[in-house]
Amino acid sequence: MIYLRSFFFVLWLVITVVPYATAVLIASIFLRGTRLYWMCAGWLWLATQGARWICGVRWRIQGMAHLPTAADAQKAVVLAPKHQSTWETFAFPALMPHPLSYVFKRELIYIPFFGWSMARLDMVHIDRGRRTEAWRKVSEQGKQFMAQGNWMIMFPEGTRAERGGKGDYHSGAARLAISAGTPIVPIAVTSARCWPRRSFLLRPGVVDISIGAPIDPTGRRPDALMQEVESWIEGEMRRLDPEAYPSVPPETDAANPAR
């Protein structure tokens, strides 16, 4: 049944993305910025709902009060989520109440229809092989998009980690927060419980999303700030999904099966 449901989910993505992306590309001739973003987020909502109704992947969120309210619409933040599967890349624009600007590897913009649409949005696509140039682009465009009112979102681990695993936490999101004087918000996500890394076999269940309190970057060093983000996320992951982790605290867990 999992195989059949997953097949129909992938079919749902393919059937919906082609006409939706075509409409977005045509609309991008006339629209940019927030209006085009919400148009794209509409397809991501369809994708998330498809995972829910076809494969039984539900979600619950706690900590939304830690994000800026509608009254603080121009108050920017840097979101730093745990990265376990494709689910959160689809779900966050559909679930968050504010436009997001992702930082992602530029190869994604070459994916037919999906990537072409992403290339028309206010996102930061980087060449990971050129780190100095990549950071300059993140800093410059990140500040620009936040000045427009967008929230930046960067996955500190860079790539998806296995359930119960931990990738290397890179300091890019912390550096951006410090450079822009913007709070950084850690987020724990248990998406691999339902959508494992490197797989399109979705299992029914609940994805827990826990949003931590914003961390003020004032006077902080990037490594120390990211260490605080990492400690909160990994500790929260053990609370949300205890069966996936050995019974050792995150700071003494030297295993790194994610890479």
Q: What is the CATH number of the domain that holds 109?
A: 3.40.1130.10
Tell me what pLDDT residue 181 has. Answer: 92
Alpha helices in the chain (DSSP H): 2-27, 34-55, 86-95, 114-118, 131-147, 172-180, 222-240
97 within a domain of the structure (yes/no): yes
Q: Which of 5, 12, 23 is nearest to 46 (CA)?
A: 12
Residue 258 lies in a domain: no
**Residue 257: inside a domain, yes or no?**
no
Number of structural domains the chain divides into? 1
68: in domain: yes
Question: What's the CA gap between 240 and 23, in Å, rounded?
Answer: 39
The whole-number pLDDT of residue 254 equals 43
Residue that has been written with the tokens 């076999």 in this structure: 201
Answer yes or no: are the C-beta atoms of 126 and 106 closer than 8 Å: yes
Distance CA 100, CA 79 (A): 9
Q: How far is CA 212 from CA 129, 165, 178, 182, in A?
A: 31, 20, 18, 15
Assigned domain for 9 exists: yes
Question: Does residue 259 belong to any structural domain of this protein?
Answer: no
Q: Letter for the amino acid at 224?
A: A
Q: Is 104 a domain residue?
A: yes
With contact defined as beta carbons under 8 Å apart, do 212 and 232 qualify? Answer: yes
Please report, in angstroms and rounded to a whole number, the separation of the first and last CA atoms in the chain. Answer: 30
What pTM does this model have? 0.88
Look at residue 92 in the predicted model and tell me its pLDDT: 95
What 8-state DSSP symbol labels residue 149?
Answer: T
Domain that holds residue 247: 2-252
Q: Which of 155, 102, 178, 104 is nearest to 134 (CA)?
A: 104
List per-block mean pLDDT (blocks of 10 residues) for the chain, which spans 259 residues.
Answer: 92 94 92 88 94 96 87 80 94 92 85 87 79 80 88 92 92 93 96 88 96 95 96 96 78 44
Task: Report the pLDDT value the prediction gives residue 259, as an integer from 0 to 100.
Answer: 34
In this prediction, residue 258 carries a pLDDT of: 40
